[in-house]
Amino acid sequence: MTHVLVTGGTGFLGSHTIARLLSAGHTVTTTVRSLARRSDVERMLAVAGAPHAGSVSYVEADLTSDRGWEEAVTGADYVLHVASPFPAARPGNEDEVIVPAREGTLRVLRAARKAGVRRTVLTSSFAAVGYGHGRTGQTGWTGRIFDEDDWTRTDATAGRDVSPYIKSKAVAERAAWDFVEREGDGLELTVVNPVGIFGPVLGPDYSASIGIVHAMLTGGMRAAPPIWTNTVDVRDAADLHLRAMTAPQAAGQRYLALAGEPVSFHDIALTLRARLGEAAAKAPTGTAPAWLVRLLATVDPALRETVPQLGVVRRASNAKARKELDGSPRSNEDAVTATAESLVRLGLLSG
């Protein structure tokens, strides 16, 4: 039997990953920032229908402190390091996300090395791949298709699209590769780089990425801004973590996790209307022009974050994950529909 540590069991991807591991017959320890959240994780595992959920061990550990990590990795054959700050709003100071992301990753890797863990799989992001490259000739339907050889630029000349969160993911992933190369002492590292994660939520504390579908269903998004995103269903992202954990050829590799082609927010709204009917009656029917979004952004800090993304289409390839890890992700439409259906089913659309 294989024992796996999953960091961040309270999270959207973390909880699904635990459920997937339990279904596959592994035993699991997970870290939570406070043991008071144990019951929340148990409830999410019950919603996911995970077997043997009562067998999961819980250890209190925060990315910003050394306490708990040694205990958490004890007995682990593999570590899936999923936890990282993913704020819904831009932090006042970028170090609020960069420092926990980078230092937390190094804490987990040091503990894994000391405990003789076989392999650590780090949840990075497309945020560490496809940003900071500027607009001209680099993105768009006919432009570049990002793959695992690409890196987000974080230097002073990087584009305005590199938010503190995006930078935190690129900096943390770089730090992880540098660590295993310089002082890994045989510890294997594999990285999964998901795009925007959708799919079914398991409880009320869902990820910031779900906010788009939530806003569409509740009428919080009156018109779709001209923004494109890539999607991956959380169940496929979790599944790819498991494949990346054990596939011999995955050691030392990065894998993009995505459904396929980018979708616009307008496309997402149309999908929700077509698939959910009355439950999606408030989803936007039209697109807001970019000039209007820019104008509104001058008074709305939340919209300001979206301005560098207006009209930018970032295409990426899932060919490597398909070929080397046999990944076969659900479609964009299925991923966003599953999010919407779960929000309805769990009664999470009020407020």
Instruction: Provide the binding-site residues for ligand NAP, judged by CB under 6 A.
Output: 8, 10-14, 33, 62-64, 82-86, 100, 123, 125, 169, 194, 196-197, 207, 209
Strand partners of residue 190: 121
Residue with tokens 């190094």: 106
Q: Which amino acid does the sequence have at 190?
A: T
Counting every residue written for the chain, the total comes to 351
Task: Say what the alpha-carbon torsion angle 193, 195, 200, 205 is, to the nearest 10 degrees.
Answer: 80
Q: In this complex, which beta carbon is closest to ligand NAP, that of residue 195 or of residue 283?
A: 195
Q: State the Cα–Cα distance between residues 242 and 271, nearest whole angstrom.
A: 30
Beta carbons of 245 and 121 less than 8 angstroms apart: yes
Question: Residue-wise over 306-323: b if at least 16 C-beta within 10 A, else e?
Answer: bbebbebbbbbebebbee
Can you say whether residue 309 is alpha, beta or left, with left for phi > 0 and alpha for psi between -120 and 50 degrees? alpha
Tell me how far, at minimum, the Cβ of 15 lies from ligand NAP, in Å: 8
Please name the residues in contact with 274: beta carbons below 8 A apart, sequence gap of 6 or more.
none
Q: In this complex, which beta carbon is closest to ligand NAP, that of residue 94 or of residue 296?
A: 94
Tell me how far, at minimum, the Cβ of 62 lies from ligand NAP, in Å: 4
Q: In this complex, which beta carbon is closest to ligand NAP, that of residue 61 or of residue 221?
A: 61
Please name the residues in contact with 292: beta carbons below 8 A apart, sequence gap of 6 or more.
none
Q: State the Cα–Cα distance between residues 336 and 272, nearest whole angstrom.
A: 8
Tell me how far, at minimum, the Cβ of 165 lies from ligand NAP, in Å: 7
Tell me how far, at minimum, the Cβ of 126 lies from ligand NAP, in Å: 6
Tokens of 41: 């994780």
DSSP one-letter code for 347: T
Q: In this complex, which beta carbon is closest to ligand NAP, that of residue 26 or of residue 241?
A: 241
Tell me how far, at minimum, the Cβ of 136 lies from ligand NAP, in Å: 26
**What Cα–Cα distance (Å) separates residue 253 from each residue in 50, 205, 247, 256?**
29, 31, 11, 10
* Residue number of the CB atom closest to ligand NAP: 11
Q: In this complex, which beta carbon is closest to ligand NAP, that of residue 100 or of residue 226?
A: 100
Q: In this complex, which beta carbon is closest to ligand NAP, that of residue 22 or of residue 170?
A: 170
Q: State the Cα–Cα distance between residues 194 and 235, nearest whole angstrom.
A: 12
Tell me how far, at minimum, the Cβ of 13 lies from ligand NAP, in Å: 4
Tell me how far, at minimum, the Cβ of 163 lies from ligand NAP, in Å: 12
Beta carbons of 79 and 108 less than 8 angstroms apart: yes
Tell me how far, at minimum, the Cβ of 239 lies from ligand NAP, in Å: 14
Q: In this complex, which beta carbon is closest to ligand NAP, that of residue 169 or of residue 243?
A: 169
Q: In this complex, which beta carbon is closest to ligand NAP, that of residue 294 or of residue 308?
A: 308
